[in-house]
Amino acid sequence: MSKNPEFVKFDKVDKSYDGKVLVVKDLQLDIAEGEFITMLGPSGSGKTTCLMMLAGFETPTNGEILLDGNIISNIPPHKRGIGMVFQNYALFPHMTVYENLAFPLRVRKIEKDEIDKKVDKALSMVSLNGFETRMPGQLSGGQQQRVAVARALVFDPAVVLMDEPLGALDKNLRESMQYEIKHIHESIGVTVVYVTHDQSEALTMSNRIAVFNDGKVQQLSSPAELYEKPVNSFVAEFIGENNTFNGEVSDISGDECKVKLSNAEILSNAISVKSKGEKTTVSLRPERALIEPTEKMDNMFSGKIEEVIYHGDHTRVRVNLLGNPEFILKVPNSTSNLELKVSQEIKIGWNSYDARALDPK
């Protein structure tokens, strides 16, 4: 059986809480079966609202949500069969780990033997065997998190929703949990809709990422494409680090364009500019600009070092370049490192292909 590319479908969904402001605007989103899709965006961008509509705790103001071809807007949450992992885990504090996991099975009137088997399987999936009789309060944050994941999966839902599930964990634990969730997803092939505002989390885990801002999906693509080829300034700015130059298109030919800044002219890749005279913001990833490049690059300028920050594996250098005092460079920490000092003049070069002329900020 082939995977359904429209397993979950948001069809022209609008949502408003107060009848004045739309928190979700004309959302059109297809999620394939077995996909790990992340809704990424700043707080208030409507991503959690989308998740709540899918779970059934909010109803769309307009439009339909379809699950496997069926309209689910009128189905109450408990009949949707969608697993959910909540931000604060929402484990039942008065039940043991076993009872927490057995809850969705018991309400489905599954037999005791079967429940035991499924709970056991779910717990081994998150490597928490032997914790059945513990109360949630006796578990660490990471363990509670894993119980919550196991509980959302134990009744074999078709879709699992995760609402910033790692938000309360410390950095190291969060990273290891990211891999753990990713591996669970790969091994059981469940469709996961994941909400986060942490871009590195999104980039690590997802098949595809939907970047939300202002109630709209700004870009929906794979993590690599999102990072390498942002389609607008917001995405470029939101995902990863970014150097920008504001200017005006002075010449355009095919994919390439010239952008006139206040004191120079740079070559760049024309993404969303169409004609001469348009205002634009040129976006360039810090690691794509090189210091004292050995090979020839079509953008080559010199700037003054303002600040040098040692980061262990790399050094961040802030340079005043072409009137932008916030231009950041990442210099890998190799043995053949250059001597970098504040107020030193250095040459910086990059290829015009890596500089993307996007919509003006």
Contact positions with another protein (CB under 8 A) in 288-327: none
CA 252 – CA 85 distance, rounded (Å)? 49
# chain residues binding another protein, by CB under 8 A: 28
Stretch that binds another protein, among 87-95, 238-246, 273-281, 353-361 (CB under 8 A): 87-95
Nearest distance in Å: CB 103, another protein? 6
In the list 4, 32, 103, 180, the residue contacting another protein (rule: CB under 8 A) is 103
Classify the phi-psi angles of 125: left when phi > 0, otherwise alpha if psi is within -120 to 50, otherwise beta. Answer: alpha
Strands (E), the chain: 8-16, 22-31, 36-40, 62-67, 70-71, 82-85, 159-163, 191-196, 208-213, 216-221, 243-253, 256-260, 265-270, 279-284, 290-291, 299-310, 314-321, 324-332, 345-350, 356-358
For residues 41 and 136, which CB has a smaller minimum distance to another protein in the complex? 136
Strands 208-213 and 36-40: parallel
The contact pattern for another protein, residues 9-48, with x = CB under 8 A and - = no contact, is ----------------------------------------
Inter-residue contact 5 to 161 (CB < 8 Å)? no
Q: How far is CA 199 from CA 51, 205, 211, in A?
A: 18, 10, 10
For residues 58 and 359, which CB has a smaller minimum distance to another protein in the complex? 58
Contact positions with another protein (CB under 8 A) in 108-127: 108
Nearest distance in Å: CB 126, another protein? 16
Nearest distance in Å: CB 119, another protein? 13
Contact positions with another protein (CB under 8 A) in 64-83: 76-83
Residue 3 φ then ψ, to 5°? -75, 140
Contact positions with another protein (CB under 8 A) in 130-159: 151-152, 155
86 lies in the site for another protein, by CB under 8 A? yes
For residues 77 and 293, which CB has a smaller minimum distance to another protein in the complex? 77
Residue 131 φ then ψ, to 5°? -100, 10
Angle at which helices 112-125 and 141-153 cross, to 10°: 130
Residues that bind another protein (CB under 8 A): 55-57, 76-84, 86-88, 90-94, 103-104, 107-108, 151-152, 155, 161
